[in-house]
């Protein structure tokens, strides 16, 4: 059995690391392809070294572009790799353009595809990742889900029961493994009480009005607690382009995984529009305010510490004040978010 993994963007690296490790332990042959969707040192290389991901066998170096360009370029450069390596199965992760591009290439070459983090749905097609999820699941032969809602969504879409495997959350595998290192990091001069912010969704940051509104709410509470804001390259470009004055916030470069985990675990509250961070805060029991109207990870709201504040500035300010007043939402860790999802995937592949 020869397994080929495709990764491209920051969250993919975090998800693939435990699966690569578990498959190595059962002794199956593996090939790793990095599409190069994320290419900055601090968006890519540092994750490979911190998470002990092996050097990719191929780097397709596609870089940035419009969705069509990026997706097409990944497909063009990935097809010859599949033809040369002839894997028995290709593993794709999450919901980024690299995921859907690789799945489409494999479907046309009749190479089986397994989707790690299948079945998540925001039911919002204005979100590019939702399109990627729906198409990838449609094309996949094996679907590894992180939670029961994923199974339910796939069954409703007519996916055969025997192709769906509830394995748990691979992103939490990485968290569980790295948490001791994160907790033992020194505070590095960071304040005692702070909010941690990440924003990169086009719907929040590409529009001058919405980016300004969100940053205004943060500036409003910045007198009460420090706001640490590691800025995604897209967001940094927009803040500069729109001439927004964000001096009252601590704008930082993107942060390596273990240091970011250390900040998350020590934050009074996390404000984000990321998918993975909603899950990580739920595991850590840290309050999370998600600046989106919906989420493909509803379990973080029903069981975890996540609150959707939508695009309403007053709601964000109100919930922030609740947290500061000690009225933060409590939660529990969802089933199978236990650090062993990668091993369950390896076990299923070994017997496939």
Catalytic residue numbers read: 200
CA distance 323 to 341: 32
167 touches ligand UD1 by CB under 6 A: no
CB 50 → ligand UD1: shortest distance, Å?
16
**The only residue of 129, 173, 279, 280 in contact with ligand UD1, by rule CB under 6 A:** 129
Cβ proximity to ligand UD1, 297 vs 344, nearer residue: 297
What tokens appear for 34 in the block? 């990095």
CB 20 → ligand UD1: shortest distance, Å?
19
Cβ proximity to ligand UD1, 40 vs 241, nearer residue: 40
Inter-residue contact 298 to 122 (CB < 8 Å) = no
Cβ proximity to ligand UD1, 12 vs 262, nearer residue: 12
253 touches ligand UD1 by CB under 6 A: no
User: Helix 341-350 vs helix 10-26: angle between axes, to the nearest 10 degrees?
Assistant: 50
CA distance 182 to 260: 8
CB 73 → ligand UD1: shortest distance, Å?
12
Per-residue b or e along 93-109, where b marks 16 or more CB atoms closer than 10 Å to that residue's CB? bbbbbbbbbbbbbbbee
Give start and end residues of each alpha helix (H) in the chain. 10-26, 45-50, 67-85, 97-109, 128-139, 148-156, 170-183, 202-205, 208-221, 233-241, 257-266, 276-284, 299-302, 313-324, 341-350
CB 99 → ligand UD1: shortest distance, Å?
8
Cβ proximity to ligand UD1, 68 vs 325, nearer residue: 68
Residues in 223-242 at the binding interface with ligand UD1, rule: CB under 6 A = 232-234
Site residues (vs ligand UD1, CB under 6 A): 9-11, 37-40, 43, 64, 95-97, 128-129, 200, 232-234, 274
């Amino acid at each position: 059995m020869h397994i080929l993994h495709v990764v491209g963007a920051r969250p993919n690296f975090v998800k693939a690391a435990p699966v690569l490790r578990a498959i190595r332990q059962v002794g199956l042959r593996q090939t790793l392809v990095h599409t190069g969707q994320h290419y900055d040192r601090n968006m890519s290389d540092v994750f490979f070294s911190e998470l002990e991901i092996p050097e990719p066998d191929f780097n397709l170096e596609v870089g940035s572009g419009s969705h069509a360009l990026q997706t097409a370029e990944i497909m063009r450069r990935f097809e010859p790799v599949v033809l040369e390596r002839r894997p028995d199965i290709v593993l794709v992760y999450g919901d980024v353009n690299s995921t859907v591009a690789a799945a489409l290439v494999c479907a046309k070459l009749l190479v089986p595809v397994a989707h790690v983090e299948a079945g998540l749905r925001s039911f919002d097609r204005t979100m590019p990742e939702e399109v990627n999820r729906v198409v990838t699941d449609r094309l996949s032969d094996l679907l590894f889900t992180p939670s029961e809602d994923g199974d339910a969504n796939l069954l409703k879409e007519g996916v055969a029961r025997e192709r769906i495997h509830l394995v748990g959350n691979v992103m939490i595998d990485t968290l569980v493994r790295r948490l001791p290192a994160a907790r033992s990091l020194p505070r590095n001069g960071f304040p005692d009480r702070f909010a941690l912010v990440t924003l990169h969704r086009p719907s929040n940051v590409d529009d001058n009005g919405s980016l300004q509104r969100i940053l205004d709410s943060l500036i409003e509470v910045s007198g009460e607690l420090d706001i640490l804001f590691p800025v995604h390259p897209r967001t940094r470009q927009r803040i500069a382009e729109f001439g927004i004055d964000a001096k009252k916030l601590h704008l930082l470069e993107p942060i390596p995984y273990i240091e970011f985990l250390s900040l998350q675990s020590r934050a009074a509250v996390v404000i984000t529009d990321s998918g993975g961070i909603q899950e990580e805060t739920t595991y850590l029991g840290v309050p999370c305010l998600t600046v989106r109207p919906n989420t493909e990870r509803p379990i973080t709201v029903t069981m975890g510490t996540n609150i959707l504040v939508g695009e309403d500035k007053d709601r964000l300010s109100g919930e922030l004040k609740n947290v500061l007043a000690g009225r933060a939402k409590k939660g529990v860790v969802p089933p199978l978010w236990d650090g062993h999802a990668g091993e369950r995937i390896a076990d299923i592949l070994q017997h496939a």
